[in-house]
Amino acid sequence: MPETIRERYFRGDPACDEEELLSWLRDEKRANGPQGFIGFAVSARMNPVLREEIAAIPAENWQPYGEDGSAVKHLAVGTNRWD
């Protein structure tokens, strides 16, 4: 990438919901890739473990994110368990 790139972000579909990729994205000192923060969002299919994790997020951490006519979306903030 050009030296002028200062921020990196990754957005993935459910096929990207796999631990090796997510660990690589979280690792700011990744050996085989750019150093530093990479913001990311990855869709995931609902499963019992994910449902349990979502249910454990306190109500005060949820904020409105937007509406698209068919869905009301919310975002959980302050819940990064990998810090």
The answer to whether 61 touches 76, Cβ cutoff 8 Å, is yes
Single pTM value for the model:
0.63
Q: Is 10 helix (H, G, I), strand (E, B) or coil?
A: strand
Ranking 12-16, 30-34, 45-49, 74-78 by mean pLDDT, the lowest is: 74-78
pLDDT attached to residue 81 = 53
| pLDDT value at residue 79 | 60
**Where in the chain are the domains?**
9-76
pLDDT classification of 82: cutoffs 50, 70, 90: very low
User: Which residue in 8, 50, 13 sits closest to 25, CA to CA?
Assistant: 8
Say how far apart CA 35 and CA 28 lie, in whole Å: 5
